[in-house]
Chains A and B, each alone.
Chain A
């Protein structure tokens, strides 16, 4: 048995006890009120930015250069549009979106030619870009795709920050239509300018895969449902993503068994690069390299109806 407690509670003790109890009650009550029905602030999904520069009627909507050197073709085509200075201001951050979807070497024409990508990086840096990012969400293992396509080495050497797919962060975006609810790569929201660099390939469902279809590569899980209405989804993506520049790589084109190809028999060397601000026209030109006219392609028609551009091949200036 221990001593009985001190009978007399001093006033100080009483005040301390009451204060302690009051503080505890206040803390609990305050905490409860703060947390009560507090949903974490759901940031509403942001809309995709519009990366276009103002229209300049004295430049053609698209230009194409033929020649043995892909880098030179890029320079000539972009120069015909006003030079990269028209598109990239000093200090801006640029995202270059090539097709790095497949575990293939450049000769198989499944991915964008690495020299085309590297030259675009160089041009952007020369125009004063503070940061150039090259990325894509590959279908095969991204480490192999970025390495074997040659894009990783070439772009890094030119001064770009190459981000392989598994290092990308995906965030919600306010996409509508078939792609509603899909996430996109966060890099899109960090870029001031975006250059879309597809390679010209055959595709079993949409017949060709070019610039507007290249946007599949920025979408997260769930993009494998878009094929259920592929032409419509391509047009919707073309409307959602408005790049600064579309560069169609036709150094080598894939005639059959796309979008992966494999056999060199499916590849034809066209040795051209087209660049333009009209994505519909660029895609129409790319399709023409595979022998399709614009009328053959439902997604082009849908895109034109949405006002994304004009598939008037005569407007492409050859330099």
Chain B
């Protein structure tokens, strides 16, 4: 194996291990300031998607420009050297399916339907322009993070359950296992990030060059080609992952990776069908507004849609959330989960807070710290808890169910909710009464009452309420800071 290949493999291994390790550290609640979100900061699909959908490029995502510039100079090196999902697929392909030379030749052929990833990209970007950001569904980094968070981490010892996580895990598994049949099939045919980088790779200054008459058509170059970009024929630079396996394999030394290598002549039949491209774009431009109007996500506030503290108003939120699941992993109390139906079709896999599964720790601001696109803004503890004098950040309000609450309905003392309430002064106050129990004896009860001006909706009351899975005190989204229309109490004059 040449040094070039060694270095490339080292890069792939390094970034895969780094990605997995960072994610594991994040989920473990590591207190150190590791760069957990760096992979997403350099993600051009997220950067372009958010810019199209929200009209702004959030601060740290500007690093994605560096990756695009790198692609303009060197080609799709991200795919061949960095992308952890690509590396995983390659590992799977190598482990699961030792192939003969003939089989390799067959699976590494370029197929015209690999243009599908470009149509997918067009549809996603069109939908983003129409205001609906869905790039996160197929973004390889988000896919991998989500699949691990939803599937793998819950299975490990100490793992926390993620309801509905089997979907994301299955998708990841299917992608990885598909490489048993065609190596890196996702990268070649479905990955919108690959398609986006492929667009810029067309300008690449460094590319594979086939020089001289010495080529014997031995096809050694194609056996190990990752991108299925036909190094033997007209090299498709937009498909090439710059794995440099071909330059390595060529015994005649005909293939080289060179600066300003002459380009191949344009292929006789264009890779992209204009019809399909237009079709997918127009389809997305119709589908996005349809989802927004009828998909159940936007419009009026929904009682059970509790968003993380610091989340933007729903429209802006949906324009930025790339469903990467970092917030869910960073949340120390397992409060955040991927939405399945509660946020509508558009909000699929966006984070929602389920108090029965986990409450929002009062002084914790982890979710906003790790959100790469600013869909959840970063708060300080002083801001979130209102120590700076301005009102605390609220995600909802708690309501007592008098029919289920023990002191209200069952003549049984309790007050766990009041005990757990973290605000100062407490948002839950107690009203003392003396009731007669069934046996006629007096029972002194303290009945919980919620002060809507103080309640931040953190949900620890609901979480700790002893009354089964339908708690006797439940949080709904009314009163959330991020939506001035989702209120019930008139503004307090100051």
Kindly list chain A residues whose C-beta atoms are within 8 Å of the C-beta of B232: 1
User: Is A7 touching B211 in the complex (CB atoms < 8 A)?
Assistant: yes
User: Is B73 touching A21 in the complex (CB atoms < 8 A)?
Assistant: yes
Kindly list chain A residues whose C-beta atoms are within 8 Å of the C-beta of B254: 4
With A20-B203, A181-B484, A222-B485 given, name 14 new contacts (CB 8 A). Answer: A1-B215, A1-B217, A5-B210, A5-B265, A8-B262, A24-B203, A25-B68, A28-B65, A28-B69, A32-B47, A36-B56, A37-B59, A178-B491, A225-B487
User: Is A226 touching B490 in the complex (CB atoms < 8 A)?
Assistant: yes
User: Is A28 touching B215 in the complex (CB atoms < 8 A)?
Assistant: no
Question: How many A-B pairs with Cβ below 8 Å?
Answer: 107
Q: Which 5 A-B pairs have the closest CB atoms?
A: A35-B57, A225-B490, A21-B203, A32-B65, A180-B491
* A167 on the B face (CB < 8 A): no
| Binding stretch for chain B, among A11-19, A191-199, A284-292 | A11-19
**How far apart are the CA atoms of A5 and B237 in the complex, in Å?**
14
Find the A residue at minimum CB distance from B491: A180
Find the B residue at minimum CB distance from A178: B490
User: Is A38 touching B233 in the complex (CB atoms < 8 A)?
Assistant: no
Kindly list chain A residues whose C-beta atoms are within 8 Å of the C-beta of B204: 21
Asked, given contacts A35-B57, A38-B56, whether A14 binds B260 with beta carbons under 8 Å apart, the answer is yes
Interface residues of B in 163-218 (CB under 8 A from A): 200, 203-205, 209-213, 215, 217
* B51 on the A face (CB < 8 A): yes
Find the A residue at minimum CB distance from B262: A5
Nearest Cβ distance between residue A221 and chain B, in whole angstroms?
A: 5
User: Is B233 touching A1 in the complex (CB atoms < 8 A)?
Assistant: yes
**How far apart are the CA atoms of A31 and B50 in the complex, in Å?**
13
* B58 on the A face (CB < 8 A): yes
* B72 on the A face (CB < 8 A): yes
User: Is B485 touching A7 in the complex (CB atoms < 8 A)?
Assistant: no
* A81 on the B face (CB < 8 A): no
* A204 on the B face (CB < 8 A): no
**How far apart are the CA atoms of A20 and B265 in the complex, in Å?**
17
User: Is B72 touching A24 in the complex (CB atoms < 8 A)?
Assistant: yes
**How far apart are the CA atoms of A31 and B48 in the complex, in Å?**
10
**How far apart are the CA atoms of A139 and B339 in the complex, in Å?**
35
**How far apart are the CA atoms of A115 and B404 in the complex, in Å?**
56
**How far apart are the CA atoms of A181 and B64 in the complex, in Å?**
37
* B264 on the A face (CB < 8 A): yes
Q: What are the interface flags for A18-55 relative to B under an 8 Å C-beta threshold, 1 for contact and 0 otherwise? A: 10110011001101100111111000000000000000
Q: What are the interface flags for B480-493 relative to A under an 8 Å C-beta threshold, 1 for contact and 0 otherwise? A: 00001101111101
Considering residues B73, B213, B493, which has the most beta carbons from chain A within 10 angstroms of its beta carbon? B493
Asked, given contacts A1-B217, A5-B262, A228-B490, whether A37 binds B72 with beta carbons under 8 Å apart, the answer is no
**How far apart are the CA atoms of A28 and B490 in the complex, in Å?**
47
Kindly list chain A residues whose C-beta atoms are within 8 Å of the C-beta of B200: 24, 28
Nearest Cβ distance between residue B163 and chain A, in whole angstroms?
A: 33
Kindly list chain B residues whose C-beta atoms are within 8 Å of the C-beta of A265: none
User: Is A6 touching B262 in the complex (CB atoms < 8 A)?
Assistant: yes
Kindly list chain A residues whose C-beta atoms are within 8 Å of the C-beta of B485: 221-222
Nearest Cβ distance between residue B235 and chain A, in whole angstroms?
A: 9
Kindly list chain B residues whose C-beta atoms are within 8 Å of the C-beta of A18: 205, 260
* B401 on the A face (CB < 8 A): no
**How far apart are the CA atoms of A167 and B490 in the complex, in Å?**
26
Q: What are the interface flags for A201-222 relative to B under an 8 Å C-beta threshold, 1 for contact and 0 otherwise? A: 0000000000000000000011
Kindly list chain A residues whose C-beta atoms are within 8 Å of the C-beta of B387: none
Interface residues of B in 427-469 (CB under 8 A from A): none
Kindly list chain A residues whose C-beta atoms are within 8 Å of the C-beta of B217: 1
**How far apart are the CA atoms of A214 and B217 in the complex, in Å?**
87
**How far apart are the CA atoms of A24 and B72 in the complex, in Å?**
7
* B7 on the A face (CB < 8 A): no
**How far apart are the CA atoms of A233 and B491 in the complex, in Å?**
11
Kindly list chain A residues whose C-beta atoms are within 8 Å of the C-beta of B488: 225
